[in-house]
Each structure stands twice: as C-alpha cells, then as structure tokens.
Chain A
Amino acid sequence: MSDYYLFHDSAKCIGCMSCEVHCKENKRLPPGPRLCRIETIGPKWVGNIPKVDFVFMPCYHCDRPWCVAACPTGAMQKRTGDGIVFVDHNLCVGCKACMRACPWGAPQWDPEKGKAVKCDYCLDRVDQGLEPACVAKCVTKCLHFGKPEEVVDARRMRHARAMAAMATEVTLRQPVNGPKAKPMKPKRKQAQDPVEGS
C-alpha cells in the first residue's frame, strides 16, 4: 500500500461511471485505456430490493508491486516518500510487461503514446494538495482520499446517523400493520380473447 488510502463507500455509489471519465479527462487519454473502473455486480434480491453492488477498481499501489518488479527499464516506479506507483513516460518503451504482471489490470495501454498508463492517484494534483480527479468530482461523494487517519470512516458515520434517525422514528411513527414483506413474482397477465377484448 501507499501512504494514501482511497476509500469507496459502495453503499452510496450509484454506478454513474463519472469517476472513469473524470480520470480520463484529467489525463487527456484517448478511448481505450481506463485507469479506474466501476464494476457492477447484480442485481440480486435482498429482501424485496434488487440490490446492485459496485466495486471501484483503481490501482491498489501494492507494497511490493509486481508491475514495478516486471518493468525492464525502471519506468514503473514506487515513489519514495509516499509509495505511489507511477510510470515515468521518459523511460517506458511500451513492452507491456507491467500489464501482464499486474493481477488487477491496473496498467493500461495508451494506443496514442504507445506506452503504459496507470492510476497514480493524480500525482500532479496530490502534489498541489488536491484530491485525485475521481474523488474531487464524484457525484455522490462516495470516494474519499487521504492518509488513513485523515479519511473519515464515512460508512460508519452514516450508519450511526441512520441509527440515530431510526431511534427517533420508532417513537414518532405509527406502527404499520402491513403484511410481512415477501419478494414479488411478476406474473404475465393472460391476453383476453381478441373478440371479447375488442
């Protein structure tokens, strides 16, 4: 891991894929490489709700990155100081060794440059004290970036607030006498006899 922590609060994510475009726009990448990806899982029934889960897949900036180990020219580097893994494009010769080595598909191919590109937490922005593009412009603010101790545990905070809201609700809301929830199975309604129906 790097010194930084990129936390994705998947319960608040709406899978709008804007992070992917924010990233590409900031890096001015052509169609093709996607440095972070939103993977959609589901839907599957959870109670009566067709739940969709999202997994945010940037680079994980491993402790001992295989991409760095595989790189023959030293272009792929782990930055001393904060541990961010990045590509030095002056050294990259486009051999794709890093792409084959990474189990997560983090290094991607830039067909215009003929070189590998990857998530570097938007180094240029981080060095100016800014958040990575994906985090800065996230629609629902479900992405959080910083040193671990700086990143508020968004999910825990939300849960606490929800519990607090519920506690007040229990006393306020009338008991609901509806039936126990069970998943609905939609049935196709039979078409009427055309003569009768017309």
Chain B
Amino acid sequence: MRKDIYSICFMCTVRCPIKVTVEDGAVKWVEGNPHQLKGALCAKGSAGTALLNDTERLRYPMIREGARGEGKWKRVSWDQALDYAAQKLKAAVDHYGPQTVAFGERQNLNTHLSKTFMRALGSPNHFTHDALCKGSVNTAFRTLTGYTDAEVAVDWVNTKHVILYGRNLFESLELKPIQALLEAKDKGARITYIDIRSTITASHADRFWMIRPGTDLALNYALIHVILRDNLYDEEYVNRWVTGLTELRAFVEPYTPEWAEEETGIPAGEIVALAREVGGEKPQVIFHYGYRGASHLDEIYFRRSLVILNALMGSIESKGGLIIKKGPKDAGFGSFGKLVDQKDLPKPKGERFDGAGGSRFPIADPAHGVAAMLPLAILNEDPYPLKALIIHRFDPMLSIPDYNQNKKALDKLDLILTIDINFSETAWYSDVILPESIYLERSDSIQMAAGPKPALYMRRQCIPPRYDTKPFWEIIRELARRLDLGRFFPYDSIEDIWDLQLKDMGVSIKDFEAKGFVSLAKNPILWDRKEGLKFKTPSGKIEFVSSLMEQNGFLSFLPYKSVTPPPEGEFRLTVGRSAVHTHVSTQNNPYLNELLPENVLWLNTEEASRLGIADGQYVEVHSDHGFGRLKALVTDFIHPEAVFMLHGFGRQVPATTRCYGKGASDTALQENVSDVIGGSPGLHETFVRVRPAS
C-alpha cells in the first residue's frame, strides 16, 4: 500500500509544508509540498528519515538515577514517569506556590496547549525561546507600529532591493523566501548584504560591505541622515502615516556619512550611493529587520532604525515591501479556536520570573518572556525562587549564554522535566524525560498561517511511533489530569483539537485533503495605502517618537556611543548558523553530522599570523566565562576585530555519540547580558583570547 500524506516539516522551526510517501508502513520519500515549494526540500528536511530511524534519539520515558548529568537512567513506564513528574510538580505548587513552576519551549503548533497548562496551574511563567532570537525585533516593531515582527510578512518576490544585515538567508535558510528572492533576482532585484564576514548570501549579493563589528546602528543613522537630507523618502506616505519626523530629522543631523565611515569602515560615498539607489526604488525596498545583526545591549535601537528605514521608504504595507499579516477575519472567515481561549481558564497573574511586562522589562513581550533571565532568576531568587522547570523541545542549557552559569542555576531546581525527541544538554541534566514522538509519527494542532494570503496547514501522522513515545498533546493532557486540571483539556484525540480549532471557521478537516492546506484568500489582502492602514499605536500611525518607549522612561532615539574595539590580542566573538543544522537540535543526526560534524573558528589572516596560528590548526579560545577548543579557519574574509563560530557545537552529552565533544560551544564563552529594553541577548558582547592549542 502506497499513499501520499501532506504534513508539515519540523526539522527546524520554519514549518515548510511537505508531502510524505508511505509504503507498507514505512516512510519512503519526503518532499516539499509541490503546490507550494515545487517539491524542494532542504538538507535538514530530507534528513528527517535519518532522525526517524536514529537509535540515539529518546526512545522511552526515563527517571534519573545517580547525580544530575551523570547519565544513569532508569527506564520506566509512561504511568510511572507521569506520576513521578506530577507528584514533584504538585509538591512545588503546594509548598512554594504555582509561580515557582516555569515552562520553557520553542514556539510550536501546540503552544496554546502548554499556555493552557500553565494558566490552569496558576503560574505566569510560560516562556519561549523567541527572546533569545529576536526579542528586540519584536519590541522594536511594537514601539513603532503596534504590531510584532511575527505579524509582518516580507514580500520577497516583488521587491526591487533588499538590504540584509547579517541575515544570511542562503545559509540560515527558509525555502519559500529563497525561492521568492531568486525569482525576484531573475526579474532584476538587487541585494545589498552587510556582515562582518563573507557568506554564501554575500556571494549572491550585488553589494557587500564588510562592516566593523557592532556598528550597524552607525550605518543606519547615516543612511537616515542622507535620506532625510536629500529628500529621498516617500513624502506622501510619511506625511500621512508617520509621526515624529521632525524629531528624527533633528536627531540624525550630526550623523553624517563621513562620520559613519570612521565608525563602520564603509566609505561615505558608498553609503550615499545606497541611500540614493533605494530612494529611486521605493517603496519596493526591504531593509530586512532580523535575525542576525549586531547583537548588542542597544539592540532595540538598531532594530528600530531598520523599521524606521522601511517606514521612510513607504515600504510597510507595500507590494515588494513589508506586508502586515492578515488573519481569517480579514479574509471573511470566522475566528480560529485556541484552547487557551477557554472562558473559565484563569488569566495569568503576578510578576513573571523574567520581568517581561513587569518591572525589569516593562515593554518586552510577555507572550514570549525573556528566556535569558532564567539562570539569573534561579540563582538570585529574584524576584522569587523557582523550584520546577518544564522544558519542551528547547535547550536552555546550550541556548542561553554562559553554559557554566546555566548549569549552576539548574542545579538549584527541585525538578527538571524535559519533553523532547533528542538528548539535549538540558535533557541530560534533567530528572524526568518524557520522549515525544517525532513529527512524522504524530499529528499536531492546525497551523493558522497569517499572511497577505492567510492559510491553514495541518501536520498529519504518517506512520505509528517507532519507539515508546507519545505526541505532546497527549503528554500534557496526562500531566494535567494528574494535577486535577483535566477539565481544561477537553479532548481525547487530535481530531477533537482540530474540531475545536475549526469550530467557528467554516472550514472542515476534509478541505485539507487535496493540497495539505486551505487557502483563505485568493489574492493578497492589502490595505489601501492612502487611507486604509491600521497601525495599532495610540496615534494610529508609525511612531518615530514612540509613546510606548517614552511612557516607560526610554528614549526614542539613542545617541550613538562609539563601539569599543577589542584590546590587542583579543577579538569580538560572533556567532551564526549553517544550512545543514538547526540551532542545537540536529548535530547528532547521522546525515547532517556527516556533512558538518564540527564547527571551526574563523580568524583573519593577518591576526592569525601575528598569533602564529595556521589554517586548520587547533586553537584554544578563552573568555572570562569559559573555554573552547576547535580548529581555526584562517581567512581574509572576516573583519580583523572579530572571530566567528557556528552555534550549537561543543556538546557534552556522551549518549549522543556522533556530536559528543566535537567543536566548541559559543555559549560556554559568552557572557549572559541582554538588551535592557527588548531582552535580546548581547551575543556579540564577549571578547575572547585565542592561542594555538598546546
């Protein structure tokens, strides 16, 4: 028996639609949904079958024996594991209060279930990995437009010019944007790429600037300076939709291209040339707002400057620019149901552990929280002690800067419960492990993909679970039942959840069969640029002078402070991604590990020769927080002030034999410091010392 099943990939977080061919109960072929992706799939997507058959993934529930991290586990039944976890959670809630339980996960299709669980439990502490990635992008967008970055889509295919700040699109890849951008390029679109090192995206660009590390903000102030000085902005749009232009004009007055040349190393004439070029191409211009720019303590001002540039181009809600996402209601459909919308579910109350929406980060998004605060909150018991941590498909230990500090913090907890598919560093350090079935083995909640053309997607089970694992929706319900919270999980099967989600929509499960998705709009829904834009700010306009910032005591424009160069013999540590691995989750995949088994340290040729380091030689990297050992890649194509390494290596879990001890971990070296407004970690704030390995 051979059949094709439409589903959604989950080898990374992008959620590409896929078509899976199953024959005699085995997965034979996985390809991108031909109706959306022309069959294309990335290396990670194809390596899904290697994950499916991997004997080193989590196969059954386990309870820790021996000390934390010692690696002694007892295989138990699901009932035993769930009973044990529930009893420990109950103890934390009864003795110390529900707020001492925190739940961290990577945002996924079932996040509405975990949020329901936490609210039923009475804890405000549900957080996602988002802030570690783009917390300040989210906050910056809200301060200017009232929308989060997740509510904005990029119209790659119709753009004339896209400017990428370290957004290494062709290596840290998303299939749809790549295909769309290459199509736009065929039609003559241009790419400007700005980074501290050369990448494959740089290779495909029309203009490449190797910027001095940490100075992106200076470049943008100068671009804004020229755009305002030479009247290159979209006057009609700005007059109608923007407040605070006068203040911005006065603010950027001193930031000339000549000044920026000194700071960034980019010739003033070239900055002027870019400003003039985009001035002629507006509004089909995209100053891309995420994800990898200069990751510093004033990150939010850099992200704000990007949104401001888009606003000046008139590109927000423009063809070939940024388009505010539309939901089912905009397309004339009913509302999409979420479990978290149940009427009798308690609202979150009390201060969050991370201070998001509270005293510490008043304007950071409490829907995601600020994950980097986790170790600090635990260690300092500030604002209160945390006792239990539930982790789902997320590895705080290796995602939050300062590995050693993270370890120390986790040591203080009474319970670490991990729900995952692989042995992450955190799973290895936990007390109970509940193994989740992988995406090919389970169905999930329906995805509401808002966008210019909103659509619904469905992840469907392709084959039964290979090992003794369960889908998350079942795990969380079982946990809830044991804590007497079962009434908030009124479903027995995934179909019940789908029914609940589609109840008011006017869409049925059958509608997914033909193509694997349900499109809610034939044509992109665009608001009228003259009168119809609906910004969610108090003024209804894009606020250059932000009421949200000012009311909370933050400056709308931050005067530029020169970036301190690293002292002689030291380098700014920078990090990034590759095309074949997802963050910290795929390094042990047999196929992906074969392609890229370890990371290397990029080091400028002149600096390397001064230190006596040859290409390919092992080096030791030290910071004030930790140490790493890896091979050097000596190259002209990185700025001399910086070194670079891929994130996610230097793993310390012996059970993952393929990636164990290979390369070095960036989080072992980094200091845990965050943007004080948006909460993004300052991943590029650490200086390291490099020397040949002895």
Contact = CB atoms under 8 A, between A and B. Distances in A.
A1 interface: no
B566 A191 contact: yes
Contact of A50 (B198, B266, B272, B640): B198
Interface in B248-283: 265-267, 269-270, 272-274, 276-277, 279-281
B564 A139 contact: no
Interface residues of B, number: 68
Contacts of B592: 21
Contacts, number: 164
Interface stretch (A85-93, A101-109, A145-153, A179-187): A179-187
A191 B38 CA distance: 51
Contacts of B170: 14, 16
Contacts of A178: 269-270, 272-274, 276-277
Contact of A189 (B188, B593, B641): B641
B448 interface: no
B210 A184 contact: yes
A80 interface: no
Residue from A15, A26, A43 whose CB has the most chain B CB atoms within 10 Å = A43
Contacts of B45: 18
Contacts of B46: 18, 21-22, 24-25, 137
A186 B565 CA distance: 13
Interface stretch (B172-180, B358-366, B392-400, B616-624): B172-180
Interface in B564-588: 564-568, 579-580
A100 interface: no
A20 interface: yes
B343 to A, nearest CB: 45
Nearest to A142: B182
Interface in B40-54: 40-43, 45-47, 49-50
B188 A169 contact: yes
Given A12-B182, A137-B46, A169-B188, A186 B212 contact: yes
A50 B203 CA distance: 5
B31 A31 contact: no
A165 B206 CA distance: 15
A161 B186 CA distance: 7
B541 interface: no
B402 to A, nearest CB: 23
Nearest to A31: B594
Contacts of B186: 158, 161-162, 165
A138 B38 CA distance: 9
Contact of B276 (A24, A52, A174, A190): A174
B595 interface: yes
B42 A25 contact: no
A31 B591 contact: yes
Interface residue range, chain A: 35 or more
A17 B200 contact: no
B188 A165 contact: yes
B203 A52 contact: yes
Contacts of B50: 25
Given A16-B42, A17-B595, A42 B269 contact: no
Contacts of B568: 191
B663 interface: no
B563 to A, nearest CB: 8
Given A18-B46, A31-B593, A137 B32 contact: yes
B90 interface: no
Nearest to B189: A165
Contacts of A24: 46, 591
B115 interface: no
Nearest to B49: A25
A24 B327 CA distance: 40
Residue from A52, A168, A189 whose CB has the most chain B CB atoms within 10 Å = A189
Contacts of A141: 38, 40, 179
Contacts of A194: 567
B273 A177 contact: yes
Contact of B203 (A17, A42, A192, A197): A42
B292 interface: no
A102 to B, nearest CB: 21
A136 interface: yes
Contacts of A49: 202-203, 205-208
A22 B579 CA distance: 14
A26 B27 CA distance: 11
B637 A20 contact: no
A139 B273 contact: no
B338 interface: no
Contacts of A20: 43, 595
B259 to A, nearest CB: 14
A129 B607 CA distance: 55
Contacts of A140: 40, 178-179, 182
24 contacts: A12-B182, A14-B170, A14-B178, A17-B43, A20-B595, A21-B595, A22-B41, A32-B594, A34-B594, A43-B637, A49-B202, A49-B206, A50-B202, A137-B40, A137-B46, A161-B187, A166-B188, A169-B188, A177-B273, A184-B266, A188-B607, A188-B639, A190-B565, A191-B568
Given A14-B200, A21-B595, A178-B273, 9 more contacts: A14-B173, A18-B42, A21-B592, A25-B50, A51-B203, A139-B179, A161-B187, A186-B639, A191-B568
Interface of A: 12, 14-18, 20-22, 24-26, 30-32, 34, 42-43, 48-52, 136-141, 158, 161-162, 165-166, 168-169, 173-174, 176-179, 181, 184, 186-192, 194, 197
Interface of B: 29-32, 38-43, 45-47, 49-50, 170-171, 173, 175, 178-179, 182, 186-188, 198, 200, 202-210, 212, 265-267, 269-270, 272-274, 276-277, 279-281, 564-568, 579-580, 590-595, 607, 637, 639-641
Query: Top 7 nearest A-B pairs by Cβ distance?
Result: A178-B273, A165-B188, A50-B198, A179-B269, A188-B640, A52-B203, A16-B579
